[in-house]
Amino acid sequence: MTTERWREGNSLRLLENGEEFFPRVFEAIRAARSEVLVETFILFDDPVGRQLREALIAAAQGGARVEILMDHYGSPDLSDEFLGGLVGAGVRVHFFDAQPKLLGYFRVNPLRRLHRKLVVVDRTIGFIGGINYSYDHLREYGPEGKQDYSVEVMGPVVEDMRELMEEALQSPERQSRRRRFWWRSPALKTFPPGTGKARALLVVRDNQEHRDDIERYYRSAIRSAQREVIIANAYFFPGVRLLREMRAAARRGVRLVLILQGAPDKAIMRWAAVTLYDYLLRSGAVIYEYCERPLHGKVAVIDDDWATVGSSNLDPLSLALNLEANLLIRDRDFTGTLRERLQHLMDHCCREVPPPPTPKPRWWSQASAYLVFRLLRRFPRWVEALPQHRPKISAAEIAAERHGVQPQRDAA
């Protein structure tokens, strides 16, 4: 995708956690008549992964074209039996940037991952958010079950989601060629009018033309905030420009609320966020730590009619390395619903971080804060120097051949 445009007439439904998300997405996939496209960072061979597998097989056996693209780093250990059953039923299975493990054990490709979570069915219904296909997105998983969000979408913006997913399935060479042909831009297509009332914009981050789009829209929305900004984000370590917009909003009287991890699944990420607490609290921000279970959400609401739900954390991996997708939403009803659910977390599942003491922090605290900000200011530059290569999309052909199935070859 080379351009961005708000789409009118969308119908949206917020889905909180796997309990709401999985039944809806599996139902939509099973009912597919012509096409199912799925992108995910994680697919595990567990109770949830097997339900997705069954739904995809049912759709393919019903005659639909079914394609699933998984990140190889996030979904590294699927068995030949698991994959072979999919391919044998006619599902086209693809991996993003598949790399062999070092010494058969160590994964060596943690950077620039496909971190998006997208589904489009029959070009009419889509799902976008932060929920992976794994059992740990359900409360029954236990104390480590994740808190997260997704959106069910119907309307013109679904075609933008589909365009993005179709492009990802093509070879890097064909992707570059498409980007050169500006007249194929989805923004210039004619979209059927939607029956809903929400405006929506699909915003992506990639390593070609959209390197900072998600952060840029966050900064713009915070800069325009009049009354309130609520951000709930799992991994919070944003760049200095975004931090300055937050501080400026709080200083001009906007209520700035951050909901961050208090029971983290990755302790180092909480430590990184905590290093920023003093800076934000002294600016007037309010910080809550969600302590019931790991927070995996990537959502925000601003004032009464702006919201975002997607896959992008506010950390260097999401903002400068990974392939991400967020949906921006202008709709009072949806924003109100998301705000109510976030308020419920604050009221019942969070602890508020107390404001810092009145005296300024000691010299070593100031020194550590200075070093953190130097790191934040420079991370876009050192990210560019990190090892990189052109990721490829590969089909899960070995698994199919081992099960006596002749896989379908991609046209791309």
Report, as residue numbers or ranges, the catalytic residues.
Answer: 115, 117, 122, 296, 298, 303
Which pair of structure tokens corresponds to residue 354? 């107390």
Closest C-alpha among 7, 10, 57 to residue 36 = 57
Q: What is the C-alpha to C-alpha distance for residues 49 and 96, in angstroms, rounded to an integer?
A: 18
Q: What is the C-alpha to C-alpha distance for residues 116 and 123, in angstroms, rounded to an integer?
A: 18
The beta-carbon contacts of 377-386 under 8 Å, at least 24 apart in sequence, are 377/239, 377/240, 379/239, 379/316, 379/320, 380/212, 380/239, 380/320, 383/316, 383/320, 383/321, 386/111, 386/321
Which pair of structure tokens corresponds to residue 218? 């966050």
Beta bridge partners of 92: 67
- How many angstroms separate the Cα of 61 from the Cα of each of 56, 143, 197, 213? 9, 37, 35, 39
Which pair of structure tokens corresponds to residue 406? 């002749």
95 by DSSP, 3-state: which?
A: strand
Q: What is the C-alpha to C-alpha distance for residues 235 and 313, in angstroms, rounded to an integer?
A: 6
- How many angstroms separate the Cα of 386 from the Cα of each of 246, 287, 320, 382, 393? 28, 32, 11, 7, 21
Q: What is the C-alpha to C-alpha distance for residues 211 and 229, in angstroms, rounded to an integer?
A: 24
Which pair of structure tokens corresponds to residue 241? 């420009």
Q: What is the C-alpha to C-alpha distance for residues 74 and 132, in angstroms, rounded to an integer?
A: 10
